[in-house]
Amino acid sequence: MVRIKINKDSKRVAKIVLYNDDGKVLMLTRSLDHNKFPGELDLPGGHIHIGEKIKRGLAREVEEETGIIVKKPKFYKKKKNKYFFYAKYENQKITLSKEHTNYVFIGNKQLSRENFFESVAIDILKKVK
């Protein structure tokens, strides 16, 4: 008998603010066919599998969505079921999955407090300066 492991998503979500030397944050644009918040700006990351450690799930999600290997993510805060981390972007090639259509590095002045993920990015940029 062959056993197939099926990874099911939990309700936990891990996101990361990746910032560069210019003090800009990597933001992704959700695809228009995304079931939640289509076309809106998003941070890399996503749902953690049931039984998966938060940092491992974060690394997996970021690599799946962008091709980026996250190195030494630092925990920032937890808000409800969302865990937020931050790390310096190390100039890796970005290859987007079908979940996102575009990416951009955005500075503090272009980020909006009206978008929750952008608001987290603003707070982290203040912390790492």
pLDDT in tens, 1-48: 666 555 788 899 999 999 999 999 999 999 988 777 788 899 999 999
Q: Round to whole Å and give the CA distance between 94 and 87.
A: 16
Q: Round to whole Å and give the CA distance between 14 and 61.
A: 8
- Tokens standing for residue 127: 């912390």
pLDDT in tens, 61-90: 999 999 999 989 999 999 999 999 999 998
> Which fold, 9-128?
Nucleoside Triphosphate Pyrophosphohydrolase (3.90.79)
pTM given for the model: 0.90
